Amino acid sequence: MGEDQSLLQLLARYRPAVLALTLDRLGDLDTARDLTQDVMEQAVRHIGDLRDPAALPAWLRAIALNRSRLHFRRPRESAAGLVVPETRAAESTYRVAVRRMMLRDVLAALRELPENNRLALLMHVLHGLPYRRIADFLGVPVSTVESRIHRARRELRREAEKWLLDATAEDNEEASG
């Protein structure tokens, strides 16, 4: 039982990194959460295949990448077939929709970043992973993670400033026109 508990704790340690990776690949938080759960379940089932415990982060990353690729090969469910539970209040549904739109916009801005920078930033900012754990998961030195996060933040700041200037100019045009 102790060995099983240790395995679960170790996997839980890397779950946020796997979630960041699947979110980056899929662009949808709910789907990324489901896929992350699938990755963790697959890891538990096949942990005996892992020969070197030090390779766990790279092994989890490989499983997550493979599962993400497979996700896009599956047929999609029709949006017409989705049913929204009637028990949700309209305001709650509105808030969920707004949050999803905001997340979609943020992910679109992140997509403009180089993949390595984007992934490091997602792991650190969204999930609070320390640089050392990100470095272990990505298989790079900590200094590389630091540089990637710094560059990603700088580029996002530039994009946000540009977006705000554009939005302010549009508001001023509407007010004067």
- Is pLDDT at 79 greater than 60 in this prediction? no
Q: Provide the domain count of the chain.
A: 1
Q: Is residue 95 part of a domain?
A: no
- Residue 91 lies inside a defined structural domain of this protein: no
Flag whether 168 is in a domain. yes
Please indicate, yes or no, if residue 90 is contained in any of the structural domains: no
pTM of the predicted model over 0.75: no
Question: Does residue 140 surpass a pLDDT of 90?
Answer: yes
Residue 11 forms part of a structural domain:
yes
Report the C-alpha dihedral over residues 85, 86, 91, 97, rounded to 10 degrees. 30
For residue 8, is it within any domain?
A: yes
CB 32, CB 64: distance < 8 Å? no
Look up the domain containing 105 and give its range.
Answer: 2-72+101-176
pLDDT value, residue 164: 78
Q: Is residue 52 assigned to a domain?
A: yes
pLDDT digits (tens, 9 = 90+) for 81-101: 333 344 445 556 777 777 777
Asked whether residue 53 is assigned to any structural domain, the reply reads: yes
Q: Which residue has the higher pLDDT, 128 or 81?
A: 128
User: If you write DSSP's letter for every residue of the chain in order, what string do you get?
Assistant: -HHHHHHHHHHHHHHHHHHHHHHHHH--HHHHHHHHHHHHHHHHHTGGG---GGGHHHHHHHHHHHHHHHHHHSPPPPGGG----TTS-HHHHHHHHHHHHHHHHHHHHHHTS-HHHHHHHIIIIIT---HHHHHHHHTS-HHHHHHHHHHHHHHHHHHHHHHHHHHHHHHHHHHH-
DSSP conformation class of 76: P
Report in angstroms the alpha-carbon separations of 154 from 8, 125, 145, 161.
36, 14, 14, 11
Which CATH number goes with the domain that contains 56? 1.20.140
